[in-house]
Chains A and B, each alone.
Chain A
Amino acid sequence: MHDQESLIGKVTGVRWKGPFTFHLSPRATIRTFALLFCLSAVAATPASRIAGEVDARGLVDAVGGYKGRVVLVNFWATWCVPCREEFPSLVRLQRAHGSRLQVVGVSTDFARERPGVEKFLAEQQPNFPNYHKRAGGDDEDFIEAVDPKWGGELPFSVLYGRDGRKVRVLSGQQSYADFDREVRKLLR
């Protein structure tokens, strides 16, 4: 208790003089309001809808954590119109197949467009995790690590079987029926 008081006192300048009695200088008043403002700002910030930042290695680990389910990793970006059009099909797909399927989204947006990614996810309300590709490094290394057949075009999806092995890739925009057909093949 004593340590806590001294810490708050150090930050704000408020001097505790006993129950219901403390000394509040003008500077301490400003500091106290500043502290309260910061705390309220932190409390008011909504939690990020981005599951985290991933590089190719981190993505492999994330997919590996879903062994036993069919996994569909979808690479998208907010500036990519076909990606935006395709996204609701992924939400519907996850809902339709429940725990037998795990959709994982990866935004490849520029680092500066992270607020736009948050906004898009808030609008779409996806029922699956969405990562943001970690900035830096050479995109070619990331693309190659995901799949050598991938040329970098977006959207792009990779399907993994229940044993965690990569089964096939889907280049460009897919319809719900296309996704559903491919997932059902792996669920047989």
Chain B
Amino acid sequence: MRSLRITLVAMAVLALSLPACAETPAVGSAAPDFQLSTLDGKPFTLSKTVGGHNAVVLMFIATKCPYSNAYNDRMRDMAAAYASKGVLFVGINSNKTEPLAEAREHAKSNRHTFPIMKDPDNKVADLYDAKRTPEVFVVDKTGVVRYHGRIDENHEDPKGVTSPDLKNALDAMIGGKTIERAETKAFGCTIKRV
């Protein structure tokens, strides 16, 4: 009986410690669930949100990173353009060096009206093993990761984009087609963890 109790305690400890050493969820696998508060104090739970949308776009963002900031307008425009297609964009700021007030100011100055959350102690970044900003995960309505990577290949010039990877992925999902490039990479700023 005692050994069973020890085993159960050990399993509980192991389960609790798992998120801290998680690997990036592969495309096709379940998106780890999480709960955070938006900048205006509303609760956000991924598992309660996905069912009501064709896709949820999780964007790891920053206030000071030039690469992330290069996409501020594109994030705002895409969030607005895809809202009517049942796609919800959300921002997650996991940088320990960027406090709540700074994230709020950044959202206001960039007219980011989509939900943005601070990720205290970078728990969600660890859960997804997110490395950089901007870094995007697209989750479908069944809670499966369908795309992971960049918004597009051209951070310098939105008009010069030749590979709009996030847009292509969303369009394919909405159209019931296969996503041709479901994983992409780009330069970005390291997420400053605790």
Contact = CB atoms under 8 A, between A and B. Distances in A.
Interface of A: 77, 79-82, 108, 110-112, 138-140, 143-144, 150-155, 171-173
B126 interface: no
B185 interface: yes
Given A151-B131, A152-B132, A172 B190 contact: yes
Contact of B188 (A81, A111, A152): A152
Interface of B: 64-66, 131-132, 135, 150, 153, 155-156, 163, 184-192
B190 A140 contact: no
Given A110-B156, A171-B131, A138 B163 contact: yes
A113 to B, nearest CB: 9
12 contacts: A82-B190, A82-B192, A108-B187, A111-B156, A140-B153, A151-B188, A152-B132, A152-B186, A152-B187, A153-B189, A154-B132, A154-B190
B91 to A, nearest CB: 18
Contacts of B186: 139-140, 143, 152
Contacts of B132: 151-154
Given A152-B132, A153-B132, A171-B131, A80 B153 contact: no
Contacts of A144: 185
A143 B156 CA distance: 17
Contacts of A82: 190, 192
Given A138-B163, A140-B185, A155 B190 contact: yes
A117 B131 CA distance: 24
Given A153-B131, A171-B131, A143 B187 contact: yes
A27 B156 CA distance: 45
A137 B190 CA distance: 22
Given A82-B192, A111-B156, A140-B184, 20 more contacts: A80-B190, A110-B155, A110-B156, A138-B163, A139-B185, A139-B187, A140-B150, A143-B186, A143-B187, A150-B185, A152-B131, A152-B132, A152-B187, A153-B187, A153-B191, A154-B132, A154-B188, A154-B190, A171-B190, A173-B190
A140 B191 CA distance: 19
A110 to B, nearest CB: 6
A82 B193 CA distance: 12
A150 B24 CA distance: 13
A60 B13 CA distance: 45
A95 to B, nearest CB: 26
B60 to A, nearest CB: 11
B192 A143 contact: no
Contacts of B184: 140
A171 B187 CA distance: 13
Contacts of A138: 153, 163
Contacts of A111: 156
In this complex, the member of B135, B189, B192 whose beta carbon has the largest number of chain A beta carbons within 10 angstroms is B189
Contacts of A140: 150, 153, 184-186
Given A138-B163, A139-B153, A154 B185 contact: no
Contacts of B131: 151-153, 171
Contacts of A172: 190
Contacts of B64: 81
B127 to A, nearest CB: 16
From A79, A108, A144, A155, residue with most partner B Cβ within 10 Å: A79
A154 B190 CA distance: 6
